[in-house]
Amino acid sequence: MKVNVLSLQSKIKPEDFTPLGEGYFAEENLETEEIGYWKASWQRLRANRIAMVALIIIGILAVFAFIGPMLSPYTYDQQVRGDEALWPCLSHPFGTDRLGRDILVRCMIGTRISMIVGLVSAVVVMIVGSIYGAISGLIGGKVDIVMMRIVDIIYSVPEILLIVVIKMVISEPLDNLIQKVPFFHGLQSIGSGLIAIFIVYGLLYWVGMARIVRGQILQLKNLEFVTASRALGCNSSRMIRQHLLPNCIGQLVATVMLQIPSAIFTEAFLSYLGIGVSAPMASLGSLTSEALNGVTSYPYRVIFPAALISLIILSFNLFGDGLRDALDPKMKK
């Protein structure tokens, strides 16, 4: 056949039209396993070394905070006579404070408080924020406008100022409530300070979450694949389970995870200012502020709680970042 060198047409030969042999695809593995959303996310997360290290550190801190105090011979408010103001030694690895209280146990309790604050506030924010956002997004119209204006106003309020004021206001009535009403006696061990902090988070921190949930719902409602699956006869429960939830749960979980460090941050800040958890309960913030008075002679008392709070926030931050990338690969830049 005569071939034109300058021709731009594809050069086809007669052999190209012969059928392929029987075993041509045999080597190719056609059975690639179909993996679900969570498994795929977990695989992405596991590949992220920083996030996995952060997760392990969080695990270690949890053991330190929740099991540690049981193993210690001291309790957080026990004042050991004769052991006042000790430098770190064998019987008190972190030393003791002015009153002879073991700083290691106090740090464990402080870590426990930080973790509880982080997790509970995450749950509170998730529940309040999703319900509010979902109602606003689903109903739409005037209700949506009013609800979102309220969110806008709360959003523009400098939260830390209100947190301080609200915290001061509700602490004392809460104290009375817990002590006088038998139904609330169970809460005594948590303390009114901590409950006041949870209430404050519930009142103020959910607005970001509500905005995200509403945005997701509005966006998903109008997407083609939702219309398509509805046209194919998909019922509501399958729609929610198979299409809506998987598409927004990733972002929700990621947002909530990144809420945890900021909640811990705020609690430490409040306790540092002396308006967080009430004495003799130990928080990493109050431990540091107590210790700062004697910083020139006893620097070790500052170092341990300060390092712990930084480590907690750092590992939650890094894990949250990794989780966001894993759950929502579209967002990864």
Partner 1 sequence: MQSSRYIIKRIILAAVSLFAIITLTFFLMNLMPGDPFMSEKATEENRAILIAKYGLDKPVYVQYGKYLANLAKGDMGTSYVLQKGRTVTEIISESFKVSMSLGLRALLIAVVIGIVFGCVSGLCKDKLPDGIIRVLSSMGISMPGYVIAAGLMIILGVRLGILPINYNRPGGWIMPTIVLATYPASYLTRLTRASILEVMNQDYLLTERAKGMSEFVVVFVHALKNSLIPVITYLGPLTASILTGGFVAESVFNVPGLGRYFVSSISSRDYTMIMGVTIFYSALIVMMNLVCDILYKIVDPRITLE
Interface with partner 1 (CB under 8 A): 149, 152-153, 156-158, 160-162, 164-166, 168-169, 172-173, 261, 265, 268-269, 272-275, 285, 288-289, 291-292, 295-296, 299, 302-303, 306-307, 309-310, 313-314, 317-318, 333
- Which residue lies nearer to partner 1 by CB, 160 or 240? 160
Task: Give 67 or 168: the residue with its C-beta nearer to partner 1.
Answer: 168
- Give the nearest distance from C-beta 272 to partner 1 in angstroms: 5
Q: How far apart, in whole angstroms, are the C-alpha atoms of residue 40 and residue 42?
A: 5
- Closer to partner 1 at the Cβ: 162 or 187? 162
> Which of 262, 297, 328, 306 lies closest to 87 in space, CA to CA?
297
Which CB sits closer to partner 1, 122 or 151? Answer: 151
Q: How far is the CB of 40 from partner 1 (least distance, A)?
A: 23
Q: How far is the CB of 166 from partner 1 (least distance, A)?
A: 6
Looking at the Cβ atoms of 89 and 160, the one nearer to partner 1 is 160
For the bound state, the minimum distance from the C-beta of residue 286 to partner 1, rounded and expressed in Å, comes to 11
Q: Which of 280, 294 has the CB closer to partner 1?
A: 294
Return the C-alpha torsion angle 51, 55, 60, 63, nearest 10.
160
Residue number, 66 or 155, with CB nearest to partner 1: 155
Q: Which is nearer to partner 1, 124 or 200 (CB)?
A: 200
CA nearest to 192, candidates 206, 212, 178: 178
3 CB-contact burial (10 Å; exposed 0-12 / middle 13-18 / buried 19+): exposed
**Shortest distance (Å) from residue 327 CB to partner 1:** 17
What's the closest the beta carbon of residue 322 comes to partner 1, in angstroms? 12
Q: Taking the complex as a whole, how short is the minimal distance between the CB of residue 97 and partner 1, in angstroms?
A: 15
Least separation in angstroms between CB 164 and partner 1:
6
CB of 159 to partner 1, least distance (A): 9
- CB closer to partner 1 out of 67 and 165: 165
3-class secondary structure per residue, the chain: CCCCCCCCCCCCCHHHHCCCCCCCCCCCCCCCCCCCHHHHHHHHHHHCHHHHHHHHHHHHHHHHHHCHHHHCCCCCCCCCCCCCCCCCCCCCCCCECCCCCEHHHHHHHHHHHHHHHHHHHHHHHHHHHHHHHHHHHHHCHHHHHHHHHHHHHHHHCCHHHHHHHHHHHHHHHHHHHHHHCHHHHHHHHCCHHHHHHHHHHHHHCCHHHHHHHHHHHHHHHCCHHHHHHHHCCCCHHHHHHHHHHHHHHHHHHHHHHHHHHHHHHHHHHHHHHCCCCCCCCCCHHHHHHHHHCCCCCCHHHHHHHHHHHHHHHHHHHHHHHHHHHHHCHHHCC
302 backbone dihedrals φ, ψ, rounded to 5°: -80, -40
